[in-house]
Copies of this chain bind each other. A is one copy, B any other.
Amino acid sequence: MTITPPELSVFESLESEVRSYCRGWPAVFDRAQGSRMHDEDGHTYLDFFSGAGALNYGHNNPVLKRALLDYLERDGITHGLDMSTTAKRAFLSTFQDVILRPRNLDYKVMFPGPTGTNAVEAALKLARKVKGRESIISFTNAFHGMSLGSLAVTGNAFKRAGAGIPLVHGTPMPFDHYLDGRVPDFLWFERLLEDQGSGLNQPAAVIVETIQGEGGINVARPEWLRGLADLCRRRDMLLIVDDIQMGCGRTGPFFSFEEAGIVPDIVTLSKSIGGYGLPMSLTLFKPELDLWEPGEHNGTFRGNNPAFVTATAALDAYWADGQMEKQTIARGEQVEAALCEIVSEHPASGAEFRGRGLVWGLQFADKERAAKVCARAFELGLLLETSGPESEVVKLLPALTISPEELDEGLRIIARAVRETA
């Protein structure tokens, strides 16, 4: 699509080699609205990536934009550390009224810093403090963040190696479906816990994603999640659900664990909680776990007030009733049908798909196919990333606010990209 190559020289000469997405998408983006991004050369892209889940309400959502501009115009507090502000109060009240109370969730709210890894670090600290133990159980192909605490419970060997120190105090357990159904759920985990000779350090907590977004769109069954919650309860471990990518409606309900009917002890939220793509995160926990001393965890940007404003507006606009959840499930069915068709069209490709709500993965027997599909999709004007330890899964993550027509457009591009990479 691009004819003249984009002007990338300053990125290439000045920015670190660590940059990644920009390598697969050689364009310089300038504007965006809803599910469309525009580069400076006038090209438009349909976005099935949504800021890795940070843009569930689309780019520059007009409802949130209005609230944000008003707030900035009137010189509302921008930076507030953990000072009490009217913006924070509005957020807390709305979160309480719109999210927690209707779901009978009695959580304390912590602002641990504005990014997902801050929320995970705070969750792990709190679990260790409450239980007086160091060890955390994580799952194969988990992704929880890049700072050392979060990285230690992340599965990806390449990212782990970046730590430069041995990552310890964590033990991986098999995620749902990991051993291909040949082993009863939690057989190994429970044996380790019950056996005083197993060599497993007694865990403070288990941290889990209900669907592993970075790990390959691995979907845990509700009964598996219930089994895990039950195991945690029986074996005196806290259950942490990292809902950073799958929360905020990505799978349908506001929290991805609602479908399973479980109530985690600790929940992390980030990415789309701010609504507008502004950095914000939350760590939620049961009141009896709130053993923090004042200031025991802090962070300069933990009170990112503009994000409180857009977060509040998003909750008010999208979660005051059950419409968003229904719509997401409907859109998910649209995706599912299309993926089903793609798979059935390519029986020799060994393609499989899986997902829920508006997060889906498409995988081929040839592990390199996913990257080719994404590359071709880009040429065709669709932003689509891969997932999984070997980037072997095409990951569909459209905005929850995408229209059926846009969704259809993107799915058709995927179908074409699959055909053209056969």
Instruction: Give complex CA distance A200, B161 in Å.
Output: 11
Majority DSSP secondary structure for residues of A touching B: loop
Provide the residues of chain B in CB contact with A159, threshold 8 Å. Answer: 295-298
Question: A234 at interface (Cβ–Cβ under 8 A)?
Answer: no
Contact of A157 among B40, B202, B278, B292 (CB under 8 A): B202
Known: A92-B14, A184-B182. A279 touches B293 (CB 8 A): no
Instruction: Give complex CA distance A156, B86 in Å.
Output: 32
Contact B18 A292 (CB under 8 A): yes
Contact A197 B157 (CB under 8 A): yes
Instruction: Give complex CA distance A147, B147 in Å.
Output: 6
Question: A73 at interface (Cβ–Cβ under 8 A)?
Answer: yes
Contact B140 A195 (CB under 8 A): yes
Question: A89 at interface (Cβ–Cβ under 8 A)?
Answer: yes
14 more contacts with CB within 8 A, not counting A59-B78, A162-B293, A166-B201, are A11-B84, A17-B292, A17-B293, A51-B79, A69-B73, A79-B276, A128-B165, A129-B162, A155-B198, A161-B296, A166-B166, A172-B199, A183-B187, A244-B300
Copies of the chain in the assembly = 4
Contact A158 B296 (CB under 8 A): yes
Provide the residues of chain B in CB contact with A96, threshold 8 Å. Answer: 10, 14
Count, chain A residues at interface, CB 8 A: 155
* Residues from 143 to 184 in A contacting B, C-beta threshold 8 Å: 145-150, 152-172, 174, 178-179, 182-184
Instruction: Give complex CA distance A300, B115 in Å.
Output: 7
Known: A114-B114, A124-B164, A146-B298. A85 touches B172 (CB 8 A): no
Provide the residues of chain B in CB contact with A26, threshold 8 Å. Answer: 84
Instruction: Give complex CA distance A155, B301 in Å.
Output: 21
Instruction: Give complex CA distance A231, B347 in Å.
Output: 34
Contact of A22 among B84, B293, B299 (CB under 8 A): B84
Provide the residues of chain B in CB contact with A28, threshold 8 Å. Answer: 84-86, 89
* Residues from 60 to 80 in A contacting B, C-beta threshold 8 Å: 60, 65, 68-69, 72-80
Provide the residues of chain B in CB contact with A117, threshold 8 Å. Answer: 113, 118, 147, 299
**CB-CB nearest in chain B for A9:** B89
Provide the residues of chain B in CB contact with A113, threshold 8 Å. Answer: 115, 117, 146
For residue A203, give the distance in angstroms from its CB to the closest CB of chain B: 12
22 contacts between A and B (CB under 8 A): A8-B84, A11-B84, A11-B89, A14-B108, A15-B108, A21-B83, A59-B79, A60-B72, A114-B279, A115-B301, A129-B162, A129-B164, A141-B199, A142-B199, A157-B198, A159-B297, A165-B169, A171-B171, A172-B192, A172-B200, A197-B388, A197-B389
Provide the residues of chain B in CB contact with A170, threshold 8 Å. Answer: 199
List the one stretch of A30-38, A256-264, A315-323, A410-418 in contact with chain B. A30-38
Contact of A29 among B53, B83, B296, B389 (CB under 8 A): B83
For residue A351, give the distance in angstroms from its CB to the closest CB of chain B: 20
* Residues from 181 to 210 in A contacting B, C-beta threshold 8 Å: 182-184, 187-188, 191-192, 195-202, 204
Contact B79 A109 (CB under 8 A): no
Provide the residues of chain B in CB contact with A300, threshold 8 Å. Answer: 51-54, 115-116, 244, 270-271
